[in-house]
Structures are given as structure tokens and as C-alpha cells.
């Protein structure tokens, strides 16, 4: 390793600064870190004071200058947003430069286009920082688990919502209260929609799914329910029944249960607040931590756990990707070959099944009349519609009305919807107050 | 990827068979799996019937024939034991062949010699299967966490002892009873010493440490205490105080607390039954599962969790390593360069500090006379010796004797030993029944 590798940085926010700090203090890190040379940095405001010792001559407010600088071999995109990020990534690729990005929104939407361009140009686009902050998950999925048939990926992959849910569970307070505090503390954005409506988690599960199953699906068709309508009452009842409520993002291969004759792989992807049994490894994941559980054959189950966000952890993931490119660049031949394991090109077709075919347990909370036969009626109606019940519990009865919580066995969402329509037509049933998933 | 890669297998036990099964069913796995060709297999007994569809012409009872077969580019050693495994690995390397091995005993003892030989011959020796069964941990440590200064690695890395401890905790039964049942069920060997005395965990933490800190230490100097003297009484008391007891293997960088002027990095490595607070991520790791927690800067804490043993998970790790070599072999130039991230050559000097300088909390159980002043006396004596106490609890008092459990704050093992010598000289103290670590 006598050569160094020139890096250009697009963006110098918290993650960008975290990357610079690692590169400026190589002691105690892998020796390859000292071979990485920061050559050019694009920032929005050239006047802004920064607490970093960087030669001002490397700054520019024109990101294209970074991408096109001949001394820059690897472009690190940590500016965020869809454009100009996407165009800059594609421009870098077209110049034969590898790209490292933390931009889950771009990769979830344009991952296929970008991977195809990278393949054609013999470069890498590495995205470890796009999912799970500092947790190594992209690299293990691509390399360490490559011998497995992956069946399912499920995870807590949004730190903001997990923080809110953890505090709601611990303190018994309302969603709105915790959200406001989280915003004050900087754990939630002023506009929290992307997090609390589950959109960020949907971006990330789309990315994990494409790596786990070898092909991408349409991002906009992922069934997504956030936590913004979740009531603390349901967290409390779940807890009494032995469950935590987590915002889970799930991707499942339904190949075995299908007989389509279609060579495209049927996948179910969804994001939903879900009851997780207390003894389940995901149940103990609290605060801003993330965890991703991978199920496959022959591995069984493995889980990756750690800080899902933050400048330091995310910078750790970005630097890991730069190191990977630096390490492998010592081998790259003139013909610009790429290691097929490290490249993230898709290797088969996948498609989303109709949401109605997602199979899972359900948690339901109903307000009913407080009459003796109501539990029997509900139970019978579910039975007639082939929905098996795991438990029915009456939690509260006041003012001549009762609150009933039902946990079903596994059933597809289509049948569940049909049954719920019928249940709600019962004269004894006043309203369906909550409908969540359940592991 | 038009080329295939020829693999030779040394050993066809449960892991070897698991590898063959993956290679024979590439569907749904990374497409690179189908490029791996099993060319030669060394087995002990050519007559033994096997439930695998392999052409008998590829079998030999001479492992050297596998290593030296020109069609074999990667040698997979899953035979176990120190010799001839070590010699065969070195022979393969000298022939310019990369090696994949699950042999933690060989790597913990001869890792440096083997890595040096691999470096000189421009080949890889990959060892994902040597620690944590199927859990991706070696690869993430080398690649995904390379930008970090690692401070500490701690883990539950022996499945047999974790199974025994989990059952002792759940059922309140004795070590001896659970061990006998575990032996009947095949979870423990007929000679359980390597597992229950902590030797296997010590092999594995030696390997993790060398990757985390960049240099190896003397395997034989690792302070190792097993679970074979652990009493179920202590598991019960720990539980009442809010702790689980786990056999932890720990490697810690003590650089910050040292001023040696020595460029070699001072490390503390030890294996010991340790109290883990119930809310700690390692506390919920039960049965034969393993988990490894990595602490570093700027990552913070990440944990890797999964099946620590078994044919399928271990085979998954072996195949991951073969895939890595296959993927990168598409790039390898004539000058036989190696990716420095993927090679596991050490990059700085490390040494073990004297065991007395290991710093941790302690759990102590004492039998004392049942006299009113005894807790005060013990507390004072610890105080005089600069050992701070977190809690002293009297659990039992019968027949004029009392059972007292002390949890200390962090203190080095040397001071702890001195204090314990003095405590045991108190006329009120009858015996020290247990001394464990505590997180």
C-alpha cells in the first residue's frame, strides 16, 4: 500500500464532519485510514465558520467541481435530498469514480438506475450508511450472508420513532407529548412526517430487501403505516399481554407459498407498528437504537444491533465503505473489473405481492356494548371467516361499554379486512379503535 | 463472471456436509455460489456411507492430495485439531492457495505464523467460521468497523456454556445436572473441559482481539475461569439483584490508562463468569446463541447476535469466506496483490498486561458469623483498601451464620485480591464462597 486514494466530499453537515474527524485522526484505526486523502469538499455556504482544521482551498460551493476534480477517485455524497444528489452520483459514476453515499431516499428510489450505471462503468456505489447508521448490515448482507437463501428481514430501522415508542412505553405518556419533547431535544425533525409516518423506514426496508433478495421492488407500493395515530392505551394493553410495540419494517420472500410459475420472486414488504413478544430479540431494542433481524437458510436467525443514527456512527459506516474501495483498489486491473459481491447489482427479478396477501398476526382493540354475549359473538364471527383467535381479553367496562382486545393467529390481510368489515356491522360493536400487526 | 473457482475440502463432518449442501443448492443464494466447484474432498474413512450425492472419485483419505490438486484453488479446512490442520494450511499457502478455516484452536495459537505466510504468498486465510458460528463478526471487524478505534470487545462466544447457564437460571438446577443432560442431548462433549473451563472462549477472544486491535497476544497467558465451579445459588442471588450470569470473554484496550511510552498496545484479555445487568443487551442472549458487543470510537456500541454453533450456521460462514475469495479473485492481478482489509495481517504490536491490572466490578459471596457488626466490618475493611462498594446484602442467616453478597465498584484485580486476603483474615468471615466478575 504505497498509494493513497483521493476523496471528494459532497456536504459537510454532521455526518460529513464526522468523516473528516476520522480521517484526521488515523491513530488506532485500520492503517488504510491514513491512505485516504481528502481532496475537495463541497459546501453550501463558503462563509460559514467550521470547527475543523481544513485548508480553505479545498472548499467549493459547486459540487460538480468536487465530482470532476481529477484528484478525486471516490465521491462521498452526504448532502442528502433527491436532487442534485442523484445527478451528482450518476455524474461521478460516468467519470469512472466510485461513490459512497448515506442517501437512503435516493437509493430507495433510484438504486436500480444507479447500480446499473455503476456496473456499466466498473465502479462501486457503497451504501452502508444508508441503513442502520453505524450498524454493519449492508456489507454483511452482501458478503457474509451470501451463501444463504434469505427468507425474511425485519427490523427497527428508524431511530426517531423507536425513541418515541420507548418513552411512551416507559412513561405512559401520549404520542403528541413525546413528539414535542423529541423535537426540542433534536431527536425529531420540525417536520416529523418522514419518520413518524414510516416513510424513512420504508426507504430503508426497500434497500435491505433488494440486497437480501437480489432484486428491487417499487418503492411507492410499499404498504406503510406510521406511529402517528398510535395511542398509549395500546402500548399499555400490549405490555399487559406480554408485548412491546415497535415500528417494524419487514420484507419477506413468499416464494414457497406461491405457485405462479413466474420466475420473478414474490415479496411482501410493509412498515407497521407491531406487537413484539417481550422475549423476542427485537423487543429489548430501545431509544434511538436500531436492530435488524435476518432469517435464512442455513443461518437461522442473526441480529445486528446498534446506534441507528448520529454523526459518529454514520461516519463510521461511510469510512468503512471508503476503506473497502481503497482496499480493493489495490487489486483493480486495467479492465476495471468489480468484485460482484461488493457491487450491489440485482441478480433476479422481484415483485411486490398484493398487500392483501401479507400474512401476520393482528392486534385489534374494539369498543363494544357491555353485554354478556359480545365476546362469544366476536369469536364466532371470526371463526366463520377462518380467522383463528389467540386471545380475547376484556380490559375495561364503564358506561355500559366494554373495551375488548383481540389477538389473532396468522391470517392474510385480505381475510382480516373482510372479517373486520363484518365485525363492525355487529350491532354490539361500536368502533374499531386500533389495528396493529403482531409477531 | 465466466470462470469458476475450484474448492478442496479437508474433512466431511457436520460442517463439511453443511458446506456441500449449500454448494449443491445454489438457487436463491448469491449467484456466485454456482461458480464454486467442489473438486476434491479428504475424509478419514473411504468406506463410510454418506447421505450426500458426491461422485466417489473426488474422495481421498490423503488430505495432501486435496491441498496439492492443481484444480483446487481454495482449500477449506474443517477437520479440526492442531495437527495436521496447521501443516496442511501452511502447505496450501506455500502453493499460493487461499484457505478458509473454521479452526479456532489453530488460529488462536498459530494465527500470526499463518497470517505472515499468507501475506508472503499473496493469499487469504479467512476465518469467519472460527468465532460465533454463523454470526458475521470477523468480516465486520476487519472491514465494516475499520474506521474505528476499538476500545473493547466482549461476548458470549461459547454456546455450550451459555446453554448450561441458561438452563441453570431457568430451572434453578445444579451445574452437574445440566451438564449431564446437555451431554445426552449432544450440546456438550463427553469431555467438556474445553467448553466449561473457558478454553474455547479464550481461543475465540484471542482471535477477535487480534482483529480488533491489530496485533496478537500470547494465547496461553489469557486469564481464564470457566463455569465448572459455579453454584446455582449465585445465579439465584444475581437474579434477585437484577443480573444474569454469563460466561463472558473480554478484550480491552488499556492504552488510555497507561503511560508506558511503549509503542506496543497494552491489552487485557480474560474469560470469566460475569454478572450482566438485566437491561444490558448481552443479558437476553440465551441457550446456544452467541453475541459479541464491540465498543469503539466513533461507532459507540454495536452487537452481533445469532446461532454460535451448528452445522448450518457454521457452513454459512465458511461459504461466505469462499464467496469473498471467489469475488475478489476476479480482480487479482498477476502480481498476486491482496486486499489489505480482507487479509488479517497484524498492523501493530500488542501485549497482555499483568492480570492484576484488569479493572472491573466484582461479585463476592461470603459466609460469615451472624453477628450485628459484620457488614460494617466488611464495608470498612474494603474502604480502607480503596475498594468502593456498590451494595452489600445479607441473603440468608441460619445456624448462627450469615450469607453476605457484596458487589464492588470497579477496581483492579490486584487490589481486589489484596482486600480479599485481608477480609478472609477477619475472625467473623468463615469463607469466600464465590468471586465473579460484574459489568
- B16-52 per-position pLDDT tens digit: 999 999 999 999 999 999 999 999 999 999 988 888 8
Q: In chain B, how many domains are there?
A: 3
- Beta carbons of B341 and A330 less than 8 Å apart: no
Q: Give the helix/strand (H/E) hosting B295.
A: strand B289-297
**Of the partner residues A21, A327, A338, the one whose CB lies closest to the CB of residue B341:** A327
In a domain, A267, yes or no: yes
For chain B positions 170-189, those within 8 Å of chain A (CB to CB) are none
Comparing alpha-carbon positions, the chain A residue that sits nearest to B255 is: A28
Looking at residue A377, which CATH number applies to its domain?
3.30.70.260
A134, A122 in Cβ contact below 8 A? no
Tens digit of each residue's pLDDT (9 = 90 or more) over A287-305: 999 999 999 999 999 999 9
Rounded distance between C-alpha atoms, residue B9 and residue B39, angstroms? 8
How do beta strands A243-253 and A350-352 pair?
unpaired
Structure confidence at residue A336 (pLDDT):
58
For chain A positions 48-67, those within 8 Å of chain B (CB to CB) are none
Ranges in chain B, pLDDT < 50: 1-2, 334
How do beta strands A149-156 and A243-253 pair?
antiparallel
B146/B128 same-domain check:
no
B6, B74 in Cβ contact below 8 A? yes
A277 to chain B: which residues are within 8 Å by CB?
none
Mean pLDDT on A331-344 = 74
Number of H helices, E strands in chain A: 13, 18
Phi/psi region, residue A310 (left: phi>0; alpha: psi -120 to 50; beta: rest), is left
B68/B158 same-domain check:
no
Q: Does B270 touch chain A (CB under 8 A)?
A: no
Rounded distance between C-alpha atoms, residue A160 and residue A182, angstroms? 8
Whether the predicted pLDDT of A337 surpasses 80: no
Residues of B with catalytic roles: 204
Read off the pTM: 0.94
Q: What are the strands, taking DSSP E only, across A11-88?
A: 36-42, 59-60, 74-77
In a domain, A404, yes or no: yes
Rounded distance between C-alpha atoms, residue B75 and residue B99, angstroms? 5
B220/B301 same-domain check:
yes
Structure confidence at residue B340 (pLDDT):
87
Looking at residue A38, which CATH number applies to its domain?
3.40.50.720
A74, A4 in Cβ contact below 8 A? no
A326 to chain B: which residues are within 8 Å by CB?
341
A271/A154 same-domain check:
yes
Mean pLDDT on A367-371 = 91
**Position of cell 487479482?**
B332
Chain centroid offset of residue B302 CA? 17
Whether the predicted pLDDT of A321 surpasses 80: yes
In a domain, A352, yes or no: no
Q: Does B135 touch chain A (CB under 8 A)?
A: yes
B243 or A400, which is more confident? B243
CA atoms within 13 A on the CB side of A229: 10
Domain that holds residue B105: 5-138+311-347
Q: Which residues of B330-346 are buried (b: 16+ CB within 10 A; e: fewer)?
A: bbbeeeeebbbbbbbeb
- Beta carbons of B139 and A134 less than 8 Å apart: no
In a domain, A198, yes or no: yes
What the block records as the C-alpha cell of B364 is 463476592
What the block records as the C-alpha cell of B166 is 441458561
Structure confidence at residue B1 (pLDDT):
42
Backbone phi and psi for residue B42, each to the nearest 5 degrees, phi listed first? -95, 125
Q: Does A26 touch chain B (CB under 8 A)?
A: no
A135 to chain B: which residues are within 8 Å by CB?
302
Rounded distance between C-alpha atoms, residue A6 and residue A71, angstroms? 6
B147 to chain A: which residues are within 8 Å by CB?
22, 29-30, 33, 315-316, 319-320, 322-323
**Of the partner residues A139, A302, A327, the one whose CB lies closest to the CB of residue B134:** A302
Rounded distance between C-alpha atoms, residue A212 and residue A348, angstroms? 11
Q: Does B139 touch chain A (CB under 8 A)?
A: yes
B217/B277 same-domain check:
yes
Q: Which of B275, B307, B339 is the last residue of a domain?
A: B307
Whether the predicted pLDDT of A1 surpasses 50: no
- DSSP letter string over A167-191? HHHHH---HHHHHHHHHHHTSS-SS
A30/A74 same-domain check:
yes
Q: Does B140 touch chain A (CB under 8 A)?
A: yes
B316, B100 in Cβ contact below 8 A? no
A146/A246 same-domain check:
yes
A157/A72 same-domain check:
no
- Beta carbons of A331 and B337 less than 8 Å apart: yes
B167/B282 same-domain check:
yes
**Position of cell 489453530?**
B106
- Beta carbons of B140 and A143 less than 8 Å apart: no
B374, B428 in Cβ contact below 8 A? yes
A16/A104 same-domain check:
yes
Looking at residue A153, which CATH number applies to its domain?
3.30.360.10
Count of Cβ atoms closer than 10 Å to residue B372 Cβ: 6
- What percentage of chain A has pLDDT greater than the value 70? 97
Best CA proximity match to A244, nearest among A23, A436, A22: A436
A85, A79 in Cβ contact below 8 A? yes
Residues of A with catalytic roles: 204
What the block records as the C-alpha cell of A50 is 467550521
Q: Give the best residue of A148, A253, A280, A292 to mutate against chain B (max B CB count within 10 A).
A: A148
A167/A106 same-domain check:
no
**Position of cell 456466485?**
B32
A157/A172 same-domain check:
yes
In a domain, A369, yes or no: yes
Q: Does A113 touch chain B (CB under 8 A)?
A: no
Tens digit of each residue's pLDDT (9 = 90 or more) over A91-137: 999 999 999 999 999 999 999 999 999 999 999 999 999 999 999 99
Average of per-residue pLDDT values in chain A: 93
Amino acid at each position: 500500500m504505497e498509494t493513497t486514494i483521493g476523496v471528494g466530499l459532497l456536504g459537510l453537515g454532521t455526518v460529513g464532519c464526522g468523516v473528516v474527524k476520522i480521517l484526521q485522526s488515523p491513530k488506532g484505526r485500520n492503517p488504510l485510514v491514513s491512505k485516504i486523502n481528502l481532496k475537495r469538499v463541497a459546501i453550501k455556504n463558503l462563509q460559514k465558520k467550521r470547527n475543523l482544521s481544513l485548508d480553505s482551498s479545498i472548499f467549493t460551493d459547486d459540487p460538480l467541481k468536487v465530482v470532476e476534480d481529477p484528484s478525486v477517485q471516490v465521491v462521498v455524497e452526504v448532502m442528502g435530498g433527491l436532487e442534485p444528489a442523484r445527478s451528482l452520483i450518476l455524474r461521478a459514476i460516468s467519470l469512472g469514480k466510485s461513490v459512497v453515499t448515506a442517501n437512503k431516499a435516493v437509493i430507495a428510489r433510484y438504486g436500480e438506475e444507479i447500480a446499473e450505471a455503476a456496473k456499466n462503468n466498473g465502479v462501486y456505489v457503497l451504501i452502508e450508511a444508508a441503513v442502520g447508521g453505524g450498524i454493519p448490515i449492508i456489507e454483511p448482507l452482501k458478503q457474509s450472508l451470501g451463501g444463504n437463501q434469505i427468507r425474511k428481514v425485519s427490523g427497527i430501522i428508524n431511530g426517531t420513532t423507536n425513541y418515541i415508542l420507548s418513552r411512551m412505553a416507559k412513561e405512559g405518556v401520549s404520542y403528541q407529548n413525546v413528539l414535542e419533547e423529541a423535537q426540542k431535544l433534536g431527536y425529531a425533525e420540525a417536520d416529523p412526517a418522514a419518520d413518524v409516518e414510516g416513510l424513512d423506514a420504508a426507504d430503508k426496508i426497500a434497500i435491505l430487501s433488494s440486497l437480501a433478495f437480489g432484486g428491487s421492488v417499487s418503492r411507492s407500493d410499499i404498504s406503510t403505516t406510521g406511529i402517528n395515530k398510535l395511542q398509549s392505551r395500546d402500548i399499555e394493553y400490549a405490555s399487559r399481554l406480554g408485548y412491546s410495540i415497535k415500528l417494524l419494517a419487514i420484507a419477506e420472500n413468499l416464494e414457497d407459498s406461491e405457485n405462479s410459475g413466474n420466475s420473478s420472486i414474490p415479496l411482501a414488504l410493509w412498515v407497521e407498528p407491531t406487537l413484539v413478544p417481550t422475549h423476542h430479540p427485537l423487543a429489548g431494542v430501545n431509544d434511538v437504537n436500531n436492530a435488524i433481524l435476518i432469517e435464512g437458510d442455513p443461518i437461522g436467525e442473526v441480529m445486528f444491533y446498534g446506534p441507528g443514527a448520529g454523526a459518529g456512527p454514520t461516519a463510521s459506516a461511510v469510512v468503512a465503505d471508503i476503506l473497502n474501495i481503497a482496499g480493493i483498489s489495490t487489486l483493480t486491473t486495467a479492465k476495471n473489473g468489480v468484485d460482484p459481491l461488493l457491487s450491489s447489482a440485482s441478480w433476479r427479478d422481484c415483485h411486490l405481492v398484493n398487500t392483501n396477501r401479507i400474512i401476520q398476526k393482528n392486534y385489534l382493540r374494539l369498543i363494544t356494548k357491555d353485554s354478556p354475549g359480545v365476546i362469544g359473538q366476536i369469536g364466532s364471527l371470526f371463526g366463520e371467516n377462518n380467522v383463528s383467535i389467540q386471545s380475547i381479553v376484556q380490559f375495561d367496562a364503564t358506561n355500559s361499554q366494554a373495551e375488548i382486545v383481540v389477538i389473532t393467529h396468522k391470517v392474510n390481510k385480505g381475510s382480516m379486512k373482510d372479517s373486520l368489515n363484518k365485525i363492525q356491522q355487529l350491532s354490539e360493536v361500536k368502533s374499531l379503535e386500533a389495528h396493529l400487526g403482531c409477531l
